[in-house]
Each structure stands twice: as structure tokens, then as C-alpha cells.
Amino acid sequence: MRVLPVKFNQKMARSLEKFSDQGGEKIANYINAAGKFAIAPLMILYNPFTKESKENKKWAAIKQPVEAVISILAQLASLNVLYKVVDKFAQKGKLKFKIVEDAIKDHSKIPASIMQTTGNNVEKALKLLDETCVGIVKDRLGTMLTIAMFVPVLALSNRLFPKIADLLVKDDKDD
């Protein structure tokens, strides 16, 4: 059995940690787009259980990567705008969380895991608690935005993919 070098393992761990810091909705978008881009076309092209023509399979397979690229670009752009707006509201103090307000008044209400993470530093713990709440808001709003973007992204991909497919799929009649 071959063991991977320690430096490689450490680099992979750091990369995964940075990737996970992106937030839940962005990660879900990356994984969904990667699947549509790479896996879905293969499943469509090499599906032994369908009686579709090769031409139809090619067209359906091309639609997936086109939709994946449009989806990831549109969703990540809109999520970045949303996250900047949420951060701006948070910095101006316009986002207040009951759990943070209660913890300010009574430090015993700060979750033990946060206290432990900050080395029992109350000030850092309150800041981390607030950041955690802001992150949760971003993730929830991001999920709603991604759902709202589904129909416009699908409409755009339905308009673009025939043009791209025409360039990539040659009719047998043209040969």
C-alpha cells in the first residue's frame, strides 16, 4: 500500500478547510456545477437503458455543462453581492441577534464551544458568536437566493445551449 507524503496530505487538508470556509451555499453550488459539468454528460451519453438516438444524447449531454457554467457564474455573482450587503448591514450594526444580545448581558449564555475556541476570552467569544450568526444569515439568504435564481438561470441556459450545441454537434447529414 502506498502512503501519500505528509506535505501532500497537509496541503489537501488546508485546501479543504479553505473550501469549507466558503459557506454552505457556495459549496453546494460548486458541487452541483461540477456534477452537471462532468458527471451528468457521461451518464447521458453512456446510458445503456435509453433508446434515444446518439444525436439526442449529444444534445442533452451538452446542455448540462452549459447550464453548469451559467448557473455557477450567475449564482456566485449574486451570492457575492448578497454577502457584501449582509456584511455592510452587520458592520453598521443593523443586524442584531437575540442570542448575542443575551450573551452580552449574561456571559454564561455564550456557548461553551465558542468560549473554548477563544480561550475563554469573552470579548473574542462575543465577536465570534456574532460572526457565526451573520454566517448563518448569509447561508439562509443564500439558499433562498439560489432557489430564486433557478428559473432565470434555466431560461438563460435554454436560450444559449442550442447555439453552443450547434457549434459542437455536427449533423450526420453535413458529413
Encode pLDDT of 52-96 as tens digits: 888 888 888 888 888 888 888 888 899 899 999 999 999 998 999
- The answer to whether residue 45 is domain-embedded is yes
Q: What is the mean pLDDT of residues 39-45?
A: 87
**Within a domain: 8:** no
Torsion angle in degrees (nearest 10) through CA of 88, 91, 93, 95: 60
pLDDT band at residue 105 under the 50/70/90 scheme: very high
CA separation (Å) from 53 to 47, 57, 68, 86, 128? 11, 6, 23, 49, 56
Q: Which of 24-33, 135-144, 164-173 has the lowest mean pLDDT?
A: 164-173
pLDDT at position 110 is: 92
70 lies in some domain: yes
- Round the average pLDDT of the chain to a whole number and report it: 83
At residue 175, the pLDDT reads 46
How far apart are the C-alpha atoms of 53 and 56, rounded to whole Å? 5
Which of 19-33, 52-66, 138-152 is modeled with the greatest confidence? 138-152
The position carrying cell 449533423 is 171
Is 118 in contact with 125 (CB distance < 8 Å)? yes
Residues contacting residue 72 through CB under 8 Å, at least 6 positions apart? 29, 30, 33
Q: What is the CA radius of gyration of the chain?
A: 23
CA distance 43 to 52: 13
Does a structural domain hold residue 12? no
Of residues 64, 23, 19, 66, the one with CA closest to residue 41: 64
Compute the distance between CA of residue 153 and CA of residue 148 in angstroms, rounded to an integer: 9
CA distances from 97 to 61, 82, 168 (A): 46, 19, 52
Q: What pLDDT does 156 receive?
A: 87
pLDDT at 170: 64
Whether 19 is in a domain gets the answer: no
Domain that residue 108 falls in? 25-168
* Predicted pLDDT of residue 8: 66
Q: Provide mean pLDDT across the span 137-143.
A: 90
| Total number of domains in the chain | 1
Considering only residues 45 and 28, tell me which one the structure prediction assigns the higher pLDDT: 45
Q: pLDDT at position 162, please?
A: 83
